[in-house]
Structure 1
């Protein structure tokens, strides 16, 4: 039993990290009421977390390689807990958004190191068992978010969705210190080998993503000819140009842009953006509609609102768990493409059923169908991305697909501001476009020989045999 304590420590950290991706949505209307906040401010409560996670994930993977995965994991846990407490104590929406951004940085440190720690701790059959349990816990964390968020918000207050993280993280820190082997001297001195962090690249990427997010939120609320929105679009374009120039000139780039010359890799990144945006971007607006007492809103309490969102995360978890090995045997293009088409079908079904006078049950079937699509496509994305690049870039590819997924959700939440029927239609179109991209650009997959995927700078291994995408 003792050998599994490191797995428990790593699973607890991953659980609380992914719990916070979905637990916030149900609490947004209560936050709006307490702070007198606008819808755009609520968008930032969700986006700040996802944006920070996307912006620093790759660079923190490199930091972990240089400084040690256990050290960075522990640092991420402490930062995550401190930011969670700050979120609960936030006096206004601006302070909450800032604390959520810090929370996202802590989450990125945890996300970037979890699989590397598992790979270093376990070998052979034990490694496969460890990754199986870790994947199941990840799905459980995301699935539990809507219901737990509703229960805590309704019976205690929205602050409780952040405070619940603190004791979980405290337990995780204690277990990590006791059970996870310390980093060796090699990790502490790795920086002497000449490898450098791409700080300019990370800064340019963050600026581009933040300005683009601001432009979408500002334009949605004030009109697309608003001066601040246009200025932010221009700033995002300039930051993107700087990022491209920096990455081309860097000897140790955050993202090797040469990888985008591979149609398979480029198609996978585009599919990751569109999948996450289509499936999870509308959830903020749906949560507001469920609990709004004005217009066509249903005026539900947080618990039934959370129950309405549960089919998406619950079904996706079940499909991934039950069909995971079978899905990995499919060519990547078909698993991802069909998954995205199923997501589009779920969105259109939901739109069709949301007629005047419809209740929350109108969402159940659509969310369940979407969950099937997410469960089909998501497990394949990372392994296919790592198989589409040279072995020395496997870690970068694994981190890139997670970065692009978070970016897709961030931008979709910013863009999906008003008109639930219109948002569902646009999201369905985005999912269908992602399916076409995957089916056309991603080459057929063949299983590569070997065992568990190589260790990486962004979390070690894929946890399964990597697929080779020629």
Structure 2
């Protein structure tokens, strides 16, 4: 199929870019169903399992914005290729890891590669396709990414059960080689138009990475060793200090750039702010960033512990566990596909707010888990969560775009993706701390030694000799806590959206500015299917995957 509007260029570039995005988003969830087998094989603790999941999301969230800046300055295809190579090498190291520490370190490098791929992915689509073809390309790309969450759970289950848990990482290597081959042959290089003297905000990148990393480490460490632990306290203090320094640096960067200078082309030379904090003075935009963070945590992070319960307590296989959770991803994909166009024609606060409320209701439905429950108790909640995700997540980027002038579209989409991935990383850390603490509390109250209780919480109850009736009770109590926390967070976020967010429908984005008439679209900003605004080539856009 030829792309006539692009000089006869084929759809092969889209195949490479979709494959790259699909792999990195699959790796957010593909390990979930393999965690119990990893724990047994590597003799890993519950804390180590948390880090196997979390370090990838932390690296992806922390480096997403700076990777976008590097792609703009040095070439998007170059950054995309470097990211793919790094992702493949790290995946190989993950599969060969002899112990949990090596696996965690390799997952961190994998997250770095994923950030580079994700940051360059959508901008390359924007630069490669124009007009109607761009809308088709983003429609295909969004559908592929939307399927990644469910495919990750199912594929992880298949590979773990029929091959080995290491295969969930090895599968990335041949897929990356295919993506690289297509990229070198068909994907053109592109760069964003930049002012003279523009540089990457290195100080902001280092401070943001340190803040996110130390905050996550402090939360995980505190849950494992206690909140009086010096490392936990020290990490949280460092997080606060680096976060404050990040705010000061970004405020100084923004103050050095007169308003409208970037559009006039007369901005002073120097680093551009990694995140323009002045945008958070916009109430709608600030609430949307908080919603992105809370919704990602509430909708997806708890499935890690549901999968651990299904395998460690119910004795389900990895494949059965993946299939049990699959309805959530399937329903979200169907809802987004069938109703996405209609939802984009509404003012975004309504489908977004209602969708997040449905997510909260779905999570609270899972409070029905009791010690005697089977996996079917999760099914109604999974379906409701899927409906909510299908309603809310595709509209989230449109809501952010409508809250700002069109020339800030790239900033809006990059910020949304950063807060989403950060929400998942922090959600895993917080929920893991709550879950492990509750499981340990219930088991030790029944006289189980602390070491055995911790092993049981990490999915190794049989090896630790803990009676399964006690494990059932402890896991049900732990899940009850995290479901309540996630449900409350989603309900609060949904209510805040309905009360505070104001914006135009996505189909109105081209007709006016974010704060009034007279804001023209930037040359690189296009529109996707059903008129939905497609962010410019400077930042990655959204997907329905975690």
What secondary structure does 2:510 align onto? Answer: coil
Q: Residue 9 of structure 1 aligns with which residue?
A: 16
Q: CA RMSD in A?
A: 1.6
1:264 to 284, 293, 310: 284
1:355 to 336, 356, 370: 370
What secondary structure does 1:298 align onto? Answer: coil
2:86 to 64, 73, 79: 79
Q: Residue 403 of structure 1 aligns with which residue?
A: 418
Q: Residue 289 of structure 1 aligns with which residue?
A: 309
What secondary structure does 1:182 align onto? Answer: coil
What secondary structure does 2:538 align onto? Answer: coil
2:493 to 434, 438, 459: 434
Aligned length: 453
Q: Residue 20 of structure 1 aligns with which residue?
A: 27
Q: Residue 345 of structure 2 aligns with which residue?
A: 329
Q: Residue 196 of structure 2 aligns with which residue?
A: 193
How far does residue 383 in structure 1 lie from its aligned partner after superposition? 2.0
Residues 81, 169 of structure 1: 8 Å contact kept = yes
Q: Residue 538 of structure 2 aligns with which residue?
A: 457
> 1: distance between equivalents of 2:406 and 2:348?
18
1:278 correspondence with 2:262: no
- TM-score, structure 2 normalization: 0.80
- TM-score, structure 1 normalization: 0.93
Q: Residue 131 of structure 1 aligns with which residue?
A: 138
1:307 to 323, 332, 340: 323
Q: Residue 317 of structure 1 aligns with which residue?
A: 333
1:217 correspondence with 2:217: no
> 2: distance between equivalents of 1:193 and 1:172?
33
> 2: distance between equivalents of 1:172 and 1:304?
30
Q: What stretches of structure 1 of length at least 5 have no aligned partner?
A: 464-470
Q: Deviations 1:14-73 (Å, cap 9, x if unpaired)?
A: 111111111110001111111111111111111111000101101111111111111111
Q: Residue 234 of structure 1 aligns with which residue?
A: 237
Q: What stretches of structure 2 of length at least 5 have no aligned partner?
A: 3-9, 257-271, 436-477, 512-525, 528-533
The 10-residue stretch of structure 1 (426-435 or 14-23) with the greater mean CA deviation from structure 2: 14-23
How far does residue 424 in structure 1 lie from its aligned partner after superposition? 0.4
Residues 66, 205 of structure 2: 8 Å contact kept = yes
How far does residue 462 in structure 1 lie from its aligned partner after superposition? 7.1
Residues 116, 455 of structure 1: 8 Å contact kept = yes
Residues 24, 46 of structure 1: 8 Å contact kept = yes
> 2: distance between equivalents of 1:57 and 1:146?
24
What secondary structure does 2:38 align onto? Answer: helix
Residues 126, 537 of structure 2: 8 Å contact kept = no
2:189 to 169, 179, 182: 182
The 10-residue stretch of structure 1 (131-140 or 217-226) with the greater mean CA deviation from structure 2: 217-226
The 10-residue stretch of structure 1 (430-439 or 226-235) with the greater mean CA deviation from structure 2: 226-235
What secondary structure does 1:135 align onto? Answer: helix
For 1:330-409, what aligned pairs fall within 5 Å after superposition? 330-352=346-368, 354-409=369-424
Larger Rg: 2
> 2: distance between equivalents of 1:449 and 1:404?
25
Q: Residue 154 of structure 1 aligns with which residue?
A: 161
How far does residue 355 in structure 1 lie from its aligned partner after superposition? 2.2
What secondary structure does 1:161 align onto? Answer: helix
> 2: distance between equivalents of 1:123 and 1:246?
37
Residues 60, 458 of structure 1: 8 Å contact kept = no
- CA distance 1:435–1:454, shift in 2 (3 Å): closer
- CA distance 1:36–1:216, shift in 2 (3 Å): same
1:414 correspondence with 2:429: yes
Residues 88, 163 of structure 1: 8 Å contact kept = yes
How far does residue 434 in structure 1 lie from its aligned partner after superposition? 0.8
The 10-residue stretch of structure 1 (49-58 or 437-446) with the greater mean CA deviation from structure 2: 437-446
For 1:26-105, what aligned pairs fall within 5 Å after superposition? 26-105=33-112
What secondary structure does 1:315 align onto? Answer: helix
Residues 382, 398 of structure 1: 8 Å contact kept = yes
What secondary structure does 1:88 align onto? Answer: helix
Q: Deviations 1:266-321 (Å, cap 9, x if unpaired)?
A: 000000011001011212211111111xxxx1121111111111112221122111
Q: Deviations 1:144-183 (Å, cap 9, x if unpaired)?
A: 1111100100111111001101111100100011111234
